[in-house]
Amino acid sequence: MTGFALPIPVIETERLILRGALESDFEAHAAFMASARSSFVGGPQERFEAGRGFAASVGHWVLKGFGVWTIADKATNAPLGKTGFIYAEGWDEPELGWHVYEAAEGKGIAFEAVTAARANGPKHFGLDGVISYIDPANTRSMALAERLGARFERDSELLGKPCQVWRHPKQGEAA
């Protein structure tokens, strides 16, 4: 027995599939979490810690009824990053989060994936007008948040690190 299926909605866009994590996605996740690029999402981490985080993201779906999708290339099913909703201990409210792996950066992958994830928040989970925590040094994530119509709300702190809180418009609101 290898586990059980969770009712994780599958979302398709022009180039992507947002889906639940597969065991085969772990290598890409572990490589990302070992890199300095993961510093705002708990990294860099050794492989064991990356494995715990990988499993915890699957468990989030079970405990909260929503979570983070793997962003996969529609043509190859290769993992390109993650996006979705997180409401972990220490969070003020549910967050729409994202990260893409280095090979996917600068190709519009994050915008396409996050747009699709955000559109499904109200429909599937009752999550609308959510926030995103952004590292104040991550100008690319700030630019993406602006492009998505989110607005800077306040400076804050998350898990002992300074961050910015960006508020996404509610579905149907003008950005």
Q: Which residues pair with 131 in a beta bridge?
A: 95, 167
How far apart CA 134 and CA 163 sit, in angstroms, is 5
What is the average pLDDT across 55-80? Answer: 93
Q: What is the pLDDT of residue 2?
A: 42
Hey, how many other C-beta atoms are within 10 angstroms of the C-beta on 111?
A: 15
Nearest residue to 32 via CA among 104, 123, 111, 100? 100
Q: What is the pLDDT of residue 46?
A: 77
Architecture of domain 15-128: 3-Layer(aba) Sandwich (3.40)
- Among 5-9, 62-66, 143-147, top mean pLDDT goes to 143-147
Percent of the chain with pLDDT over 90: 61
Q: What is the pLDDT of residue 94?
A: 96
The pLDDT mean for the chain works out to 88
What is the average pLDDT across 58-78? Answer: 93
Nearest residue to 71 via CA among 24, 17, 112, 11? 17
